[in-house]
Structure 1
Amino acid sequence: MANTNDLIKLAQKLASEGPHKAEVTPRRVRALLGGKYAFDTAKAYHVWEHPYYPQFYVPLSSFTSDAKLTKTSSVDGTNNRAHLARLSLGDKSTERVVVFNTDSLKDLVKIDFSQMDQWFEEDVPIHQHPKDPYKRIDILNSTRSIRVALDGVTLAETSSPLFLLETMLRPRYYLPPTSVKWEYLTKSNTETYCPYKGKANYYNANINGKEYKDVVWYYIYPIAESLPVAGHFCFYNEKVDIWVDGVQEKR
């Protein structure tokens, strides 16, 4: 049986306080489970459960005839305004589902994003979580010098970086691969997904006999809006020392 303690706490919070924000979106939203579409709607909601980014909540009426959505129990403390549920399709199912019946989330269903095989906005696959419609990314060429060091050893240096500026986040500096000192790097098995940039791969740094995990990432095939960073290397600001035009940033 799935652990739903976190969903229960979320449902209790949303039933009593409401979401941080909720807005209907004109995007067509679909998701696959077991190789079939579980729902298909142009009336999904962006729901900010917290201030940082939204999740998709979909109407009860959007589920396909192949999908079976069954309420399993009322969430304690919600006065029947939130129910745990099970979504089944073919030979796959998930119990990480909540059906809401509140003023702001009436007849909307939250499905844990990671439980579906694949989500789509229109015909474009999305990963990790939905994009925030109020967030943007700017990728700007620059001639400001960037130097990256760790434990007193310079790992990269360039005067032709790309500045990636993402709403509400600190700047990231993407450096040409020829500016990196490869002798200090070894490939990592780590992979992460960003809804704005795509799948990232990582390198570790090996300096003075010590391994520093996942200090730099790169995108081989970024999604269209972030295409300029393809093949460039971005050192994790919080894990290394970075100088911009000779001025050291705080980690």
Structure 2
Amino acid sequence: MPFPVFPSKILTSNISSLIPLAQKLSKNGPVKRESTPRRIRGLFAGEWVFDTLGAVYVWEDVYYPYFYIPVNEFREGVLEKVEGKGEGEDGFYLARLRVGDRSTERVIVFSSTSVEAVRGLVRVEHSTIDWFAEDEKLLGPHPKDPYKRIETLPSSRRVRIEVAGVVVAESSQNVFLYETMLRPRYYLNAGDVKWEFLSESGTISYCPYKGMATYYNVKVKGREIKDAVWYYRYPTSESALVAGRLCFYNEKVDVFVDGVREESPRLFNIPFVQKGML
């Protein structure tokens, strides 16, 4: 399924926030790393800055991986060291990725004195460039985790959504979405939602598994819940069943499945949920 190409964000400030991460990884290494046979390419300012079969999955934490790229796979001249930001015994330095008059300083280069797991690799902030795996443009704040999957199943179980005791949606024409390590999400038939309670929020997020999501606010009895509902107009092929359906943020509303109120989110052992993981 084709996707529109969205311009990358160019981040050139707050590079100090990268230093603690670089220090931790250069000395202690990541949670895990793993090579991938995928062809990974990076597009910046309309030009390819790397094209490699040597990309590495690096888990900086337990939640999801990033792609790290060998430094020698970058096009000559596009990486510049940011003076005074690392090197020596630090095991890393901060760099600037530059093409023409566009640049980003959200780049870490791990040098020969870092631990072996990241030695010679480059971390480019995912949101600053356009990433491609083979010929597919990657969406979301990180690549897909090779050990996680999603499953979408049609379900006639009755799902009821309440806010402050008021029913805002109730449907038995649903798609249940199951994603590894995350709680189930219930995508309801749009015709079974009481639209008088909804208003567009303007928020957009990207998920590597499902695509671009658009959000609604919910307002009941004068109380407004921001970004309480999302939907995918053009989801990825693996999530095609949820197209045009509405999903209520379980953590913000009361969800009943076949008359049984859903358990507390804490029981799903999920430390946090951020937009882009929904």
> Which secondary structure does the structure 2 equivalent of 1:202 belong to?
strand
Match of 1:133 in 2: 146
Distance 1:76 1:69, change over 3 A: closer
> Which secondary structure does the structure 2 equivalent of 1:27 belong to?
coil
CA distance in 1, matches of 2:173, 2:133: 34
User: What does residue range 145-164 of structure 1 map to in structure 2 within 5 Å?
Assistant: 145-164=158-177
RMSD: 1.5
Aligned residues: percent identity? 52
Asked if 1:26 is matched to 2:37, the reply is: yes
> Which secondary structure does the structure 2 equivalent of 1:7 belong to?
helix
Asked if 1:56 is matched to 2:56, the reply is: no
**Matched pairs, number:** 249
> Which amino acid is the alignment partner of residue 91 of structure 2?
R
CA distance in 2, matches of 1:173, 1:230: 13
User: What does residue range 23-172 of structure 1 map to in structure 2 within 5 Å?
Assistant: 23-65=34-76, 67-73=77-83, 79-101=89-111, 102=114, 103-116=116-129, 118-127=130-139, 128-172=141-185
Match of 2:273 in 1: none
Compare the two structures and name the one with the higher strand fraction.
1
Q: TM-score, normalised by structure 2?
A: 0.86
**How far off is 1:121 after superposition?**
0.8
Deviations 1:13-47 (Å, cap 9, x if unpaired)? 01111000011111111111111011111110010
Distance 1:70 1:76, change over 3 A: closer
Q: Which stretch shifts more, 73-82 or 44-53?
A: 73-82
Q: TM-score, normalised by structure 1?
A: 0.95
Tell whether the 8 Å contact from 1:12 to 1:78 is kept in structure 2 after alignment. Answer: no
> Which amino acid is the alignment partner of residue 18 of structure 1?
G
Asked if 1:226 is matched to 2:236, the reply is: no
CA distance in 2, matches of 1:136, 1:196: 8
Unaligned stretches of 5+ residues in structure 2 = 1-11, 266-278
CA distance in 1, matches of 2:256, 2:13: 47
Structure 1 stretches of 4+ moved >4 Å = 73-78
Distance 1:78 1:231, change over 3 A: farther
